[in-house]
Amino acid sequence: MKKLLSLLLLSPLVVGEEEKLSDKSSYIYLDCGDETPTMYRQHLLLRVMPEVSVETLDDSLKWSRDSMQVIDLDEYFTEGKAGYYTITRDTLKLRISKKWGSGSETFECFITSKEKVVEEINLIKTKKKSKQKI
């Protein structure tokens, strides 16, 4: 049922609807798991506007949209701070491929609320600030 819901939420829109989607409520937020030794938590929080774009968090924890995006019926592809992001639409699996060198990591994503993502971003900020010395 959860995968069916995710398919419905990420279903294609009619071409030309992009202009109507400027409303911030059209975003779908994805949480793609916990931080790993090679991947910061902020790179595993994504914001998707169906059929339009994928946004990732930059080093300042602000949403960033790369100009290079490919969206088709099977996946979303974009470049972010951590590498090249590919989100498979039917399984919500995220693959992040390294920009330089070889290798990639795969993460299981789930749809979450904007409030939970904001909470996670604030937690990341708090952790970073607690480590600052100047």
The Cα–Cα gap between 30 and 114 comes to 9
Residue pLDDT tens, the chain, 134 long: 444 334 334 444 333 334 344 455 699 999 999 999 989 999 999 999 999 999 999 989 999 999 889 999 999 999 998 999 999 999 999 999 998 878 999 999 999 999 999 999 999 999 999 998 88
Predicted model pTM? 0.79
Supply the pLDDT for residue 24. Answer: 53
Cα angle 87-30-96, degrees, rounded to a multiple of 5: 40
Dihedral class, residue 61 (left if φ above 0, else alpha if ψ from -120 to 50, else beta): left
Burial of 56 (0-12, 13-18, 19+ CB in 10 A): buried
The Cα–Cα gap between 81 and 119 comes to 21
Which residues are registered as beta bridge partners of 49? 53
